[in-house]
Amino acid sequence: MIEIVRGEHDTGPPTAPQPLENLKHDVLASIVVFLVAVPLSLGVAFAAGAPLLSGLISAVVGGLVASLFGGSPLQVSGPSAALTVVLADTIATHGWPVTCAITVAAGLLQILFGLTRLARAALAVSPAIVHGLLAGIGVTLVLGQLHVVLGGSAQGSALANVLALPRQIAAHHDQAVLVGVVTLAVLLAWPRLPGPVRRIPAPLAAVALATGLSVATGMSLPRVDLPAGLPTLGIVPRLPDGGWGGFAVAALTIALIAGLESLLSAVSVDKLRCGPRTDLDRELIGQGAANVAAGALGGFPVTGVIVRSMTNYEAGARTRASAILHCVWILAACLLFTGVLRLIPLAALAALLVYVGAKLVNVNGLKEVRRHGDLPVYAVTLAGAVAVNLLTGVAAGILLALALMLRRMIFSGIHVEKDGDRHRVVIEGALTFLSVPRLTRVLAEVPPHAEVRLELLVDYLDHAAFDCLRGWQQAHGGPVTVDEIGHPWFERGSSDAPTVRRSVAARVVPRWLAPWSEWQAEHVVLPAQRTASSLLCRGASEFHRRTAPLLRDTWSGLAHGQQPHTLFITCGDARIVPNLITTSGPGDLFTVRNIGNLVPPADGDDSSVGAAIEYAVGVLGVAEIVVCGHSGCGAMKALLGRAPDGLVRLGSWLRHGEATLRRRAREAPLLLGGERPAAEADQLALQNVVQQLETLRGYPVVAEALARGGLRLTGMYFDVGAAQVSLLDDAARGFVPAGALEH
């Protein structure tokens, strides 16, 4: 039986809670998100130099439209810190009315991207570029707002902010500094406070405490400037009189950055919640509609905000009603509590933005980028975003990522190793025309007429590289053995078959799994020399060259003892490879093999198998015993009277299978995958597995382990022709494919 456990935030069928229960969770979550969104919306607008009310307008109008028409039910949209840098430059260049028109244009572009189903293309952007872009925004934000916290004003660029910072630190500090420091201190200390206190959102607590301090002490300092009564800016979007190129670039930049953050936020929420995945194209259309509405009413550009969306999820939201309600609460605050909002010091908002900006420089994300070798892409994106602008940073990051990807795709490791009088030329990776100069130089190091083994471990071999190798092989003058591991690119080219595209049907079995007969070329070992000894010697050599370096650490840990989890009893048939059909490795299986996978009775005169059972269960403490039979078993055919004549010892051993014959006579036939096997010997093989499990229960050491619950007995059957492993299932009256019992 498969039990499905659904999470608290599961919004999908079939166990979705009743609407009223959903509403209860959504109302509570919406209040938490509202308390986070108000100070952040004001702070983002302040940092960009936009009218402060524009942040609240976009939080209400843009957030509402995105929640209604977007694809992510738990996504919360509003003004984002990721847009402050580009918006500050846009406002300084074009003015606020034209910036509102740019926001509308950006929204229309996002709708166009969604309608043309380009949303998933954003997911192809390297995480290093995303993290670098966010870090660049964060650094720029911190450098600018830190001046405001210190009682000054932000400079025109990140470099100017850096140069002016020492003077700002040394300058006279006023009341704004105290408010900013208190805000930062509360934000940093809040996560370390007791649990009940932490239920209050940190941004709300920090801004509220700083505001209370400024009011209680009668500080005179700049505060939030909001109109009284019904909010209205009296501003409509205005098209520019000229400079349409800058207008288009700004609209495209906002559309790309806002769209990318929205999609990444939606994907992040999807990873947490159960239920259907977000329709990313619909989400992009919803975000575009939100920006059209927000820009038309004089609001700040809108994105799906990761911080608010995560807060919404963690607060227990169930449906999109939570995001919709949070817009209602913000509108109510604008109508009813404008006087309270006007008490907030701008220094507190600046400190909040410094904190948010610092959080955008994600240290864990940086570690992940470094682990994957993409640190240069991260650094270039960050540097371009800070030193020039965000679009330049993203473009530089994409170009470098493409260059590194191209380098990794065309990289080939080529080296020569001397092995006595012979030489080994090892080529790894992708071998293309770009590698031909280096390939030619390395091949020139091989002495003429020397015996050479050319080992190709290549993912791709193009025409130019093939011609180079083939020409060198023909001109070398000595014996050259080509040994291909993986897809036979060179072999196909030599036989005039296409090498450019590998056929779907041309599946190459890895040579460490396939028999020698499947991968050993005719010229590797001459037919007259093909003895078992020579094959095994070459196999041992292959092991030392390729497998041993990969598993040396594994065997080093097993050098002083074994702890297998399973005693595996199976037939000695050469077609049965226990570690292969169970995907196990060294140290996993304690294997016993004999003719017919038979288990002699515990009180019998054969102690070989019994000794292995006692040692595995009593000494090694295995948790499972598997008896594995197989199709086409010669021992089963012999039990049915088709044994070769004159094999006395085989006949003596097969007497342990007489119990299987008696079981066959009295029990109903067993099924394999719901059907009865056609071959009589295969029917007997199924009965034989069940009988050996019964015999195992007669061993005292097995009976004791079963009684205390420390051992499990499993019946297994391998259909050789179908390469199918099946397991004994009493409910199915036979054996069923292993995948059906996986859970």
Burial of 721 (0-12, 13-18, 19+ CB in 10 A): exposed
Name the CA dihedral angle for 333, 339, 343, 348, rounded to a multiple of 10 degrees: 20
Residue corresponding to tokens 């009295």: 666
Q: What is the DSSP secondary structure assignment for residue 583, as one 8-state letter? A: T
Known active-site residue 334: no
Known active-site residue 327: no
DSSP string, 357-420: HHHHS-HHHHHHHHHTT-HHHHHHHHHHHHHT-HHHHHHHHHHHHHHHHHHHHH-EEEEEEEET
Look up residue 625 and give its two tokens. Answer: 């015993």
The C-alpha atoms of residue 433 and residue 411 are separated, in whole angstroms, by 11
The C-alpha atoms of residue 302 and residue 149 are separated, in whole angstroms, by 26
Known active-site residue 537: no
Of the residues 167, 277, 438, 575, only one is catalytic, namely 575
The C-alpha atoms of residue 457 and residue 299 are separated, in whole angstroms, by 58
Distances (CA, A) of 256 to 141, 217, 415, 608: 19, 45, 45, 72
Contact 253, 107 (CB under 8 A): no
Contact 711, 622 (CB under 8 A): yes
Q: Which of 66, 107, 111 is nearest to 324 (CA)?
A: 66
Of the residues 147, 487, 630, 664, only one is catalytic, namely 630
Of the residues 374, 573, 682, 719, only one is catalytic, namely 573
The C-alpha atoms of residue 384 and residue 137 are separated, in whole angstroms, by 11
What does the angle CA 312 – CA 11 – CA 257 come to, to the nearest 5 degrees?
Answer: 50
Known active-site residue 575: yes
Known active-site residue 573: yes
Of the residues 94, 571, 664, 682, only one is catalytic, namely 571
Of the residues 100, 633, 664, 719, only one is catalytic, namely 633
What 3-state class would DSSP assign to 136? helix
What's the number of CA atoms in the CB half-sphere (13 Å) around residue 494?
Answer: 12
The residues assigned a catalytic role are 571, 573, 575, 630, 633
